[in-house]
Structures are given as C-alpha cells and as structure tokens.
Structure 1
Amino acid sequence: MRFVIGFLFILLQVGSILYARFTPERFFCWAPYDTHVKFEVFVTIDERILTKQETFERYQYKIEGWEQRSIHNIFSLISQYERTYGKQDNAQVLTLYSINNHQEKEWRFEHD
C-alpha cells in the first residue's frame, strides 16, 4: 500500500510539472526562472487614469518593476480581478512589458 501511495505521489508531481511546461503561467513548474520581465500597469476608469497607489490597491500586487516569473501571472491576476470584482467598472487596462530586455510589448485586458 505504501508503494502505491508513493508511486501516485510521484506520478502527481511529474504530471504537474508536465502540465506546467505547456501553460503560460507555469505556476507548478519547478524549473528555474529563466525570464525577467520589466513591466508597468496603467488603468483607466471613466476616462480617468488611476494613480499608482490606486492601481496597487485595486490588484493588491505591485504594478511596476521587475518580475522573475512569467508575465502571464500578472495578466492572469489582472484578468481575474476585472472579470469578478472590477466587472462593473469597465476598466481599460494597459500593461507595457519587456521580457529579458527585448523590445517592449503591450497587453490590454479585453472585456468579454
């Protein structure tokens, strides 16, 4: 019985790692962080741009700086908030980011 439990535990771990390798967020990936992202988030509600402090309070996460994990973690955090608590605000969210000091890109939250 112990062997079966141990085998299932190892199998679950391997399955989680394999799953993480094929998702952009990579929450369960145990590989070293191989990307560094510089980013900044801008939020506009009713044509008013929120201050950095207001944006921080909105997401309860840093809104600019360096991130050692995938930028998709931040996209996921913003999307989850905007689809739930912030749904009625109809906010426009722009994130400017650069992965490993390459060309700057932008990501915008799209309302459903």
Structure 2
Amino acid sequence: MKVRGFIGILFLCIQIGLIVHARFIPERFFCWAPYDQHTKFQVFVSIDGKTLSPEETVARYKYKMKGWEQRSIDNIFSLISQYENTYGKDDNAQVTMIYSTNGHDEKKWTFKHE
C-alpha cells in the first residue's frame, strides 16, 4: 500500500512540476497550463516571387493559416519553422505572419532559414 501511495504522490508532483515548467516556455504542447493567449493571425507565403493562395498555404502546412489561435502563437511559429527546415528547405520560401495577441498591437514574424 505504501508503494502505491508513493507512486500516486510522485505522479502528482511530476504533474505540478510540468505545469510550472510550462508557464515559462513559449510552446505548451503537453501540459495542463491554461490557454491564456488568444491571437488573431494571418500567414503569407511566397516561393520564387509567387505568392501562395490561402488554400495553397493551408495545404502546405496542414493547418489553418488565418484566424484565431487559442494556444500560444509560438506553436504556429514552430509548425512553420519545422516544415521549412525539413520538407520545404529547398523551396526558399519567404514566410511572414502578421499577428496580434490578446488585442495588443500587431506584430510581424518572419521565418528565417537555419
């Protein structure tokens, strides 16, 4: 019985530690931390001077590229960066995102190749 209690307490302590950790990192993929950011955004992509349509941009990243994001906007930065550094690395895509988090002033994010 003591082993089960120890395992239960250890599990809860690990969960609390992960929640606290998630509050201090931009991406919050696997945590119980609340989604306290709401971001309005739009992504623009051009390849070899041709601007992709919204439909082509969604097909490229397999995720919405305009609208509201309830989670951290860093999740979308990460999604785009991962795609462009792997599958799209030879496309030389120019990616720009215009976004506003929690109603604040608009910001501009530009993907930079590694």
TM-score by length of 1: 0.92
Question: RMSD of the TM alignment (CA)?
Answer: 1.2
For residue 101 of structure 1, report the CA deviation from its aligned partner. 1.7
SS at match of 2:96: strand
- Show CA shifts across 1:48-91 (max 9, x none): 11111110001100000011111111101111111111111111
1:8-27 maps to which residues of 2 (within 5 A)? 8-27=10-29
TM-score by length of 2: 0.91
Q: Which residue of 1 aligns with 2:70?
A: 68
User: C-alpha separation between the residues in 1 aligned to 2:17 and 2:96?
Assistant: 34
- Show CA shifts across 1:78-111 (max 9, x none): 1111111111111110000011121110001100
User: C-alpha separation between the residues in 2 aligned to 1:108 and 1:81?
Assistant: 14
Q: Which runs of 5+ in 1 are unaligned?
A: none
For residue 9 of structure 1, report the CA deviation from its aligned partner. 1.1
CA contact (8 A) 1:35 1:99 kept: yes
Instruction: Give the % identical residues.
Output: 64
> Where does structure 1 differ by over 6 angstroms across 4 or more consecutive aligned residues?
none
Q: Which has the larger radius of gyration?
A: 2
Give the aligned residue type for 1:10.
L
Q: Which runs of 5+ in 2 are unaligned?
A: none
User: C-alpha separation between the residues in 1 aligned to 2:38 and 2:19?
Assistant: 20
The count of corresponding residues between Structure 1 and Structure 2 is 112
Which stretch shows the higher mean deviation, 46-55 or 24-33?
Answer: 24-33
For residue 36 of structure 1, report the CA deviation from its aligned partner. 1.1
